Amino acid sequence: MQYFFQVSIDAIALGSLYALVALAIGLVFGVMRLINFAQADYITIGAYSLVAPSTAAVPALMFGALHWVPMIFMVVLTVTALALLTERLAFRPLRNTDTTTLLISSFAVSYFLQSLVLMLHGGRPKTVSIGEGLTSAVQVFGLRIPGIQLLTMTVAISLLVALVFFLKKTSMGIQLRAASENFDMARLLGVPANLVISIAFGISGILGGTISLLFVIQTGSLDVRMGLMPAVYAFFATVIGGIGSLPGAVLGGYIVGVISVFLQAYLPEDVRPFRDAVVFSIVIAILLVRPQGLFVTGGAKERV
């Protein structure tokens, strides 16, 4: 039983990360009907902003050499600025085109950012050490919980609570919710389209920068494709939760994280290398039962 609870803690921690990535993807999709595959590269850029451009195996620290408060601020600011810049240059001029064109633009932005990282840092994985004290475990009711997992769960809950407050209690948050439900109607009622979309991208950047820091502390390594699998899992999470639904994206992130960790813990050893295939098979089974996802937004009902 103790092993089950230990695995549950690991599952909730991983689910918290997926929930944050899924929320970032869901916010942008809600207002633009765009799956922004560059979200994976926002995470990667945030992680690489910790080190100076170098092709050395052990790079010199850049933001990572700062005190933790300015380091967090600079990483999150970098990714947020990047998200706003890509929205302004790559997506806003194409907003009135069809969704296929926007999707192609998203792929183009993603490959451009990957190439930028390769040009500045090379393609070899690198190691970086920040937050060493968070790798040690603490005892809670007989369970050994690494500090990074406690931090991940705390940060995820804090960001989710802050975002809920923003969406429900502020004027701009209410406008963002309205736009995610029915963007055309929201525009007719006076919601500023450019501002709302910029805010959605800005929040996705804040979440991307936060996720970058949590991943680097947890893994201690940098790789040009480090954001790819979290984004893929998060995309499946948004589909499970009901694409366009923010509560659904969060719930889907936790569902995918829990399934992934429990499969890793309980599958036979010779099957564990195929865990991802099993996870995606379960996702397909869920969608066969409920193809519209767990939550259905007003906009989704109209499209159906």
For the ranges 130-139, 207-216, 239-248, the lowest mean pLDDT is seen at 130-139
For residue range 28-52, list pLDDT tens digits in order: 988 888 889 899 999 999 999 888 7
Confidence of residue 301 (pLDDT cuts 50, 70, 90): very low
> For the whole model, what pTM was predicted?
0.89
- Listed in sequence order, the residues at least 6 apart from 180 whose beta carbon sits closer than 8 Å to its beta carbon are 27, 30, 31, 244, 246, 297, 299
Contact 134, 142 (CB under 8 A): no
What is the pLDDT, as a whole number, of residue 303?
A: 38
- 84-110 pLDDT, tens digit per residue, is 999 999 999 988 888 888 889 999 999
- Concatenate the DSSP letters of all residues of 56-101 into one string: SSSPPBSGGGS-HHHHHHHHHHHHHHHHHHHIIIIIGGGTTS-HHH
Residue bearing the bigger pLDDT, 55 or 201: 201
Q: Which of 66-70, 269-273, 293-297 has the highest mean pLDDT?
A: 269-273
- Token pair, residue 199, equals 């805010």
Low-confidence winner among 19-28, 66-75, 177-186 (lowest mean pLDDT): 177-186
Query: At residue 59, does pLDDT exceed 60?
Result: no
Residues 149/9, Cβ–Cβ less than 8 Å = yes
CB within 8 Å of 187: residues ≥ 6 apart? 179, 193
Each residue of 146-200: pLDDT tens digit? 788 888 899 999 999 999 899 888 998 888 888 877 777 888 888 888 899 999 9
Percent of the chain with pLDDT over 90: 35
Detail the DSSP E strand segments found in the chain: 126-127, 137-140, 143-146, 221-222
Which one, of 249, 237, 242, 232, lies nearest residue 282 by Cα?
A: 237
Rounded distance between C-alpha atoms, residue 293 and residue 285, angstroms: 12
Token duo for residue 200: 């959605």
Helix (H) or strand (E) holding 188: helix 183-188
Residue 205 CA neighbour count, 13 Å, CB half? 22
Beta carbons of 260 and 279 less than 8 angstroms apart = yes
Smallest CA-to-CA distance from 210 within 252, 257, 163 is with: 163
How large is the angle between the packed helices 68-86 and 39-48, nearest 10 degrees? 140
User: What ranges do the domains of the chain cover?
Assistant: 15-228
Residue 58 has pLDDT above 90, yes or no: no
DSSP string of 120-162?
Answer: HH-SS-EE----GGGGSEEEETTEEEEHHHHHHHHHHHHHHHH
Report the 10 Å Cβ neighbour count for 286.
19
Radius of gyration of the chain (CA): 19
pLDDT at 237 over 80: yes
Q: Assess whether pLDDT exceeds 80 at residue 299.
A: no
Output the six-digit token pair for 120.
Answer: 């500045």
